[in-house]
Amino acid sequence: MQVISKLFGILLIFQTSTVFSQPKNAIKLDIHSPIARTISLSYERGFGDKYSIGLSALYTDQSITFSSSYLSRVAVTPEFRYYMGNATSMNGFYLSSFLRYQYLEAIQMNYLYDALTNNYYEYYDTKSLHTGGLGMALGFHKVFDKHISIDGHLGTIWNTGDQRISQNTPWIQEPNYIFRPYVGYFIKSGLSVGFAF
CB 81, CB 67: distance < 8 Å? no
User: Residue 17 has what pLDDT?
Assistant: 40
Of 51-60, 71-80, 171-180, 183-192, give the lowest mean pLDDT range. 171-180
- The distance from CA 1 to its chain's CA centroid, rounded to whole angstroms, is 58
* CA dist., res. 132 & res. 183, Å (int): 9
pLDDT of residue 62: 72
Tell me if the pTM is above 0.85: no
Residue 46's identity, in one-letter code, is G
Beta bridge partners of 10: none
Amino acid at site 148? I
Can you tell me the mean pLDDT for 166-180? Answer: 65
pLDDT higher than threshold 70 for residue 169: no
Q: Tell whether the torsion through CA atoms of 135, 136, 139 and 145 is positive or negative.
A: positive
**Among 23, 18, 55, which residue's Cα sits nearest to residue 149?**
23
What pLDDT shows up at residue 43?
Answer: 98
Given a contact cutoff of 8 angstroms between Cβ atoms, the answer to whether 139 and 154 are in contact is: yes
Predicted confidence band of residue 66 (pLDDT cuts 50, 70, 90): low
Task: Tell me the domains of the chain and their CATH numbers.
Answer: 24-196 (2.40.160)
Please state, rounded to an integer, the average pLDDT across all residues of the chain: 84
